[in-house]
Amino acid sequence: MTDPRRTHALTPLIQAVPAFPVAFVFLLGPGRELIASRGLGVIALTLGGALLGYLGLAAVSWLLWSRRTFWIDTDGDLRVDSGVVERSSRRLQLSRLQSVDIVAPFLARLAGLVEVRVEVAGTSGSHVVLRYLSRADADLLRRMILEFARRTADDVAPEEEPWVNEPDLLASVPQGRLMGSLLLRSVTATLLLLSVLLLVFTAATQGGAGLVLVLITGGLPILSVVGEFLSNYGFRVDRSREGLRIRQGLLSTKTRTIPAERVHAVAVVSPLLWRRRGWVRVTVTIAGVEGDASRSGPEVLIPVAPRAEALALIAEVLPGVDVEALPFVRAPRASRWRSPFAWRTLAVAITPDVIAARYGRMTATTAIAPHSHVQSVRVTQGAWERRLGLASLHADTAPGPVHVVARHLDQALVRPLADQEIALVHRVRRMP
């Protein structure tokens, strides 16, 4: 149990900063004519109005901050009380903990502060964001929450040194490799090529005047690359007692922990332009995080890595699974009429531990799910597949970016495979 406490005292001042740009936009836009009509100084009043707006929002933020406290109660649950006019109390059961992330937005990072995001299994509202704490306090709180969650879930006694946990570096992404992978993506390369063709066409037909809009829209691929580069800058994966700890970001940094038992599916993704360099990306489906709006993009175990390094990371979350040795059964030649470009890549594999599916030509993907996390097994057959004697096998897991779908297999083979997978799922769940 811990005592109730507030977040850092600078929190209201940081939360009020967005008042500045809002006030500037209003006073230099709609309010400019009103100021000028009264013969007042535009610059002085704009700065004064922005400052008053900031102070007003800071006062409101301070009032809300002073009425918000958090602590861990005697049951090992995280409690958050807040509200001025109407008080509310939230209780998160740490025994159902899904993740504890530390995020450092740009403004908070300038002040040496971060926010802590705690999520438990449940609905989309089953998470709390604590803004803002010092980095040392945030790290201590994260370790405390993970330790309380472990004690509650396992019903174990406290240890003498429960929070000593030195991370062990498993993989990192150099900046050169990260930028190269972003530029060599098929989508980025296609958009850049189209942008160049559009520039040439516009210059030939409309002259220089039409290039202004084209230069703006043509820069979107570059903005996308820059955004992802800043987000994944300094990406590293460490092994810790709680799971794999991921750190990333340049302007806004983020630290999150992925417990191995929360990983429901893994995908090894190999875009066409990466294959000569032997690069792959690893994405994962993590239980309970698909509906969280505070997260951006899919869960990425590592954005780009040599294949051997990526497979070593997969072994951390799927122990004993050798991706290279999976006994894949390929789709029949009849599938070329249903998938003429990718039919040679279609395959399925079932072992005592996992089910895997392989698909994709431009972006080759191998999706893997342990039997223990398969929630349902489905066989589908479209009209075209029926005429060709084909069917597809689906192994459904928790919602997320990874989908284990073995497409366009021989229909005489699919039903026995589905029965085999169902039997393995039942066997794993009956095991103690």
pLDDT of residue 429: 85
CATH 2.30.29 residue window(s) in the chain? 11-154
Q: Which tops the pLDDT comparison, 66 or 153?
A: 66
pLDDT of residue 158: 46
pLDDT of residue 217: 55
Poorest-pLDDT segment among 100-114, 178-192, 327-341, 372-386 = 178-192
Q: Which two tokens stand for residue 229?
A: 């580069």
pLDDT of residue 32: 56
Name the architecture of domain 11-154.
Roll (2.30)
Q: How confident is the model at residue 159 (pLDDT cuts 50, 70, 90)?
A: very low
Q: What pLDDT digit, counting tens, does each position of 89-111 carry?
A: 899 888 888 788 899 998 899 99
Q: How confident is the model at residue 157 (pLDDT cuts 50, 70, 90)?
A: very low
Poorest-pLDDT segment among 46-60, 218-232, 323-337 = 218-232
Asked if the model's pLDDT at residue 58 lies above 60, the reply is: yes
Asked if the model's pLDDT at residue 130 lies above 60, the reply is: yes
pLDDT of residue 299: 86
pLDDT of residue 54: 85
pLDDT of residue 423: 96
DSSP secondary structure letters along 272-323: GGGGGGTEEEEEEEETT-TT-TTS-SS-EEEEEEEHHHHHHHHHHHSTT--G
pLDDT of residue 76: 84
Q: What is the pTM of this model?
A: 0.79
* Mean confidence (pLDDT) of the chain: 84
C-alpha distances in angstroms, 36 versus 27, 53, 396?
Answer: 11, 20, 64
pLDDT of residue 390: 97
- Rounded Cα gap, residues 318 and 178, in angstroms: 25
Q: Which tops the pLDDT comparison, 258 or 133?
A: 133
Q: What pLDDT digit, counting tens, does each position of 262-288 carry?
A: 899 999 999 999 999 999 999 999 876
Percent pLDDT > 70 in the chain is 81
DSSP secondary structure letters along 7-70: --TTHHHHHTTTHHHHHHHHHHTHHHHHHHHTT--HHHHHHHHHHHHHHHHHHHHHHHHHT-EE
pLDDT of residue 266: 97
